[in-house]
Amino acid sequence: MIYFDLKASFIFTKDVSDLYDVFDNFFKNGVDKIFLKNSEIGVSIEDFNTNGNKLKIHLKSNQVVRANEALIRLKKELSNLMGFEFKIGVREVLIDFFNIKIEVDNNVNIKTLPYVKSIDYDGEYINVTFDTESEQKLTFSEVEKRIPDRIISLIKSKLADYGGKSEHWELLWESEDKEFEFNEDPTETMLNEGWIKRGYNRGQWIYGTEATHLFRTFEKIVLKELLEPLGYREMIFPKLVPWEVWMKSGHAQGVYPEIYYVCPPKTRDPEYWEDVKNIYNITKEVPVDLIKEKIDVPIGGMCYAQCPSFWGFLQGETLASDQLPIKVYDHSGTSHRYESGGIHGIERVDEFHRLELVWIGTKEDILEHAEILKDKYKHIFEDILKIKWRTAWVTPWFMAQEGKFGLSEMEGAGTVDYEALTPYNNKWIEIQNLSINATKYTKGFNVKSQNNKVLWSGCSGVGLERWAAAFISQYGLNIENWPKKFRRYFKEMPKGIKTL
């Protein structure tokens, strides 16, 4: 159960102190219909009084009709009543006190929330008391914008994933077992042979000619076996992602711990940067604290999920029906993720390379195309790379974040994770995924079809580092041991750079 306790004041344009009986009659006889939902009344008016041009009212409710919702309805009804009969208007609604008690089994770890003065757990209820006094207080405008409802949703979603990230994982398919000739850590092996070197940044690698050729071979295989036959067209998606994109894609709800933030300079006036230049030139140290003062707030972050910034191309547009489904891909740059600390190999990196596929069409188009893609991937992993791999049905990121399982319009949405075995540690790593995003992006970016059919989309990200980690850990670096069809694509091993 959720209980609401709300005190508010209606400020009228004229004195209403001698209209007590009018309000009394209205609250006794006129409010039922606005406090009613599914023939249940959830709200009660505890008391009210008038004083000058002010009507103070105390509402209590359960979740049937939330007190904040009741207040919005009351304002409308009172405006009608007072305007029609007495030519008096509602000038303002003040929130004097607002508390919500949510009955729970567990506490949630939320310490601060906007517009909230305190949030605590008393063993039975989470008590949310809104700030109704300070500069950051909750006003009627926030009530109208459904801020209290969003706070309840947020607490509920935290409660839902209480008990650990018990995300759904269900095995769909697994390839036949195989003998591995190789049993080493792929990163160590490539490092030892000079195929890769550590970059200067955490989780960043410099790929030498051999490793780069391996990546390009993976891309060529996807191009020849999948993208070209299925009619995909190449695009270039931006790699610096402003907040607006993530607000529309939904990433703005939770991406913060993992992104690399991008801050522009406050000005490009050389004068403004003179001291920084001078300090560096004299001390030979970059004055990062000073730079911190001279750069602006972050405008967004580096590419994280790759496909969101594509959608700016279609935002607000209507697609001609005869070109659906649309199939495009991008492999024009890096993606960045602030990974957990410690040293990881190429299977967990802060800067990575991914080929991203996006397809858009009707629901039927999307589901049908996902099956075609799955067949193509299967062919690649089984017949060309010949690796030990499996697929699993997992909670898609947008559902994990928003808990949208209940929405019927999202039925059929979901993510397939592709995993491969790394024999040296007998672990499975995710090498790519395939997501049916339902209306997640088409709605977020307001993309419509000519015939008004609901548009869905899907996307699939092929992780080149992960493919390399899987392939090398199962086969090693000796080209002689690699599968024949793969070698046909790979052709010659390029010369590496020798150092002394």
Nearer to Zn ion by C-beta: 53 or 401? 401
- Residue 307 is a catalytic residue: yes
- Residue 263 is a catalytic residue: no
Nearer to Zn ion by C-beta: 143 or 462? 462
Nearer to Zn ion by C-beta: 307 or 319? 307
Q: How far is the CB of 365 from Zn ion (least distance, A)?
A: 17
Structural contact between residues 87 and 57, judged by C-beta atoms closer than 8 angstroms: no
Annotated catalytic residue, options 68, 69, 330, 337: 337
**Angle value at C-alpha 217, between 425 and 338, nearest 5 degrees:** 55
Annotated catalytic residue, options 356, 365, 419, 465: 356
Which residue(s) pair with 429 in the sheet? 420
Measure the CA–CA gap between 298 and 242, rounded to whole angstroms: 9
Which of these segments, 206-214, 249-257, 367-375, 457-465, binds Zn ion (CB under 5 A)? 457-465
**Binders of Zn ion among 13-72, rule CB under 5 A?**
none
Q: How far is the CB of 433 from Zn ion (least distance, A)?
A: 9
Nearer to Zn ion by C-beta: 187 or 460? 460
In 441-480, which positions are buried (b, 16+ CB within 10 angstroms) versus exposed (e)? bbbbbebbbeeebebbbbbbbbbbbbbbbbbbbbbbbeee
Longest CA–CA separation in the chain, Å = 98
- Residue 225 is a catalytic residue: no
Nearer to Zn ion by C-beta: 19 or 459? 459
Element (H, E) at 152: helix 147-160
Nearer to Zn ion by C-beta: 213 or 354? 354
Nearer to Zn ion by C-beta: 307 or 447? 307
Annotated catalytic residue, options 66, 142, 307, 365: 307
Which of these segments, 106-114, 302-310, 388-396, 464-472, binds Zn ion (CB under 5 A)? 302-310
**Binders of Zn ion among 336-365, rule CB under 5 A?**
none
Pick from 353, 319, 345, 343: nearest CA to 453: 319
- Residue 488 is a catalytic residue: no
Q: Please name the residue ranges forming H helices in 357-481.
A: 363-379, 397-402, 440-444, 464-475
Annotated catalytic residue, options 69, 433, 437, 465: 433
* Cis ω for the linkage preceding 396 (within 30 of 0): no
Nearer to Zn ion by C-beta: 115 or 441? 441
**Angle value at C-alpha 393, between 234 and 387, nearest 5 degrees:** 70
Measure the CA–CA gap between 256 and 254, rounded to whole angstroms: 6
Annotated catalytic residue, options 92, 174, 339, 402: 339
**Binders of Zn ion among 88-107, rule CB under 5 A?**
none
Token reading at 280? 């560096």
Which of these segments, 82-90, 126-134, 326-334, 459-467, binds Zn ion (CB under 5 A)? 459-467
- Residue 430 is a catalytic residue: yes
Nearer to Zn ion by C-beta: 336 or 388? 336
Q: Is 459 in the site for Zn ion (CB under 5 A)?
A: yes
Annotated catalytic residue, options 68, 347, 348, 351: 348
Q: How far is the CB of 306 from Zn ion (least distance, A)?
A: 6
- Residue 348 is a catalytic residue: yes
Q: How far is the CB of 408 from Zn ion (least distance, A)?
A: 23
Pick from 291, 215, 247, 169: nearest CA to 469: 215
Q: How far is the CB of 497 from Zn ion (least distance, A)?
A: 34
Token reading at 361? 């069409």
**Binders of Zn ion among 159-218, rule CB under 5 A?**
none
**Binders of Zn ion among 306-325, rule CB under 5 A?**
307
- Gyration radius from the chain CA atoms: 30
Which of these segments, 40-48, 62-70, 438-446, 455-463, binds Zn ion (CB under 5 A)? 455-463
Structural contact between residues 93 and 75, judged by C-beta atoms closer than 8 angstroms: yes
Structural contact between residues 211 and 345, judged by C-beta atoms closer than 8 angstroms: no
Q: What are the Cα distances from residue 140, in Å, to 8, 34, 97, 134?
A: 9, 18, 12, 14
Q: How far is the CB of 250 from Zn ion (least distance, A)?
A: 12
- Residue 303 is a catalytic residue: no
Q: How far is the CB of 468 from Zn ion (least distance, A)?
A: 20
Which of these segments, 221-229, 381-389, 397-405, 454-462, binds Zn ion (CB under 5 A)? 454-462
- Residue 146 is a catalytic residue: no
Q: What are the Cα distances from residue 90, in Å, to 15, 85, 423?
A: 11, 13, 72
Structural contact between residues 229 and 379, judged by C-beta atoms closer than 8 angstroms: no
Element (H, E) at 389: strand 389-394
Q: How far is the CB of 449 from Zn ion (least distance, A)?
A: 20
Token reading at 429? 């790593």
Which of these segments, 28-36, 80-88, 218-226, 300-308, binds Zn ion (CB under 5 A)? 300-308
Q: How far is the CB of 259 from Zn ion (least distance, A)?
A: 15
Annotated catalytic residue, options 210, 330, 350, 466: 466
- For residue 329, report the phi and psi dihedrals to the nearest 5 degrees: -145, 160
Measure the CA–CA gap between 70 and 57, rounded to whole angstroms: 12
Catalytic residues: 307, 337, 339, 348, 356, 417, 430, 433, 459, 466
Sites of contact with Zn ion (CB under 5 A): 307, 459
